[in-house]
Amino acid sequence: SDAERKNIEDRIRKTRNDIRANMASDKTSRARAYELLARDYRELGLLGKSVNAYSSADAINPSDTDLVLDYAEVTQLMTDFTRAEALYRRAIDREPARIESYQKLADMYFYDLKDSETARGIYVEGLIKSNSDLSLMKLFANFLELAGNRSEAMLYWQAVLEKDQQNKVVEEHIKDL
């Protein structure tokens, strides 16, 4: 709505003024200000400005994995897949057991780049690095179904059920395959 847009624009003005006035003088506050600015720009559909603000935040605080993932998403939305992959890879390198990074990178390959083999490899890499995380295993089984590999998906669903024997939803899903 117009009121929501005005509210976001007001937040952007305030944040930019805070940055200019150097009110956010410590590193963490300055990085957070740029991150808020990036999110507001994204919400308004100003992806180029959002990327610039994320880049500034990332330069100040490159160890924030959440920020790197948000930055990667915006570059992906702008179809800068090379930079998005590099950012997702940074997140994976920083926190190898964090499944969200693998999921987002694999989804980019599967949905945006139409490369199911690379997406599959990313899920396998994640399963290895996360010690077969149950949530990632479920995501991989879903992916295999979407990619048309029902027999392999069935194997992973059965492995999920072995780890989570009380999961009636997975049990029913296996019966439906």
By C-alpha distance, which of 28, 29, 1, 27 is closest to 15? 29
The pLDDT value recorded for residue 9 is: 85
pLDDT one-digit tens code per residue, 89-128: 999 999 999 999 999 999 999 999 999 999 999 999 999 9
Pair of tokens at residue 9: 């624009």
- 120-126, long-range: CB within 8 Å, 24+ apart, which pairs? 120/144, 120/147, 126/92, 126/99, 126/101, 126/102
Which percentage of the chain shows pLDDT scores above 70?
97
CA distance 76 to 79: 5
pLDDT tens string 50-67 = 999 999 999 999 999 999
pLDDT at 102: 98
Residues 6+ apart with CB under 8 A from 76: 84, 104, 108, 112
- The closest alpha carbon to 124, from 110, 108, 141, 112, belongs to 141
Among 1-10, 103-112, 142-151, which stretch is predicted with the lowest mean pLDDT?
A: 1-10
Q: Is 51 exposed, middle or buried (0-12, 13-18, 19+ CB in 10 A)?
A: buried
Q: To 10 degrees, the CA torsion angle through 110, 113, 116, 118?
A: -110
CA atoms within 13 A on the CB side of 46: 15
Task: Look at residue 23 and tell me whether its pLDDT is greater than 60.
Answer: no
pLDDT given at position 88: 98
- Given pLDDT bands bounded at 50, 70 and 90, which one contains residue 24? low
Q: 């180029």: which residue's tokens?
A: 48
What is the rounded average pLDDT of the residues 124-137?
Answer: 95
Q: Which residue has the higher pLDDT, 15 or 61?
A: 61
* pLDDT for res 174: 86
78 token code pair: 């702008």
Give pLDDT, residue 28: 80
The Cα 36–Cα 75 span in angstroms is 16
Per-residue pLDDT tens for 83-98?
999 999 999 999 999 9
pLDDT surpasses 60 at 177:
yes
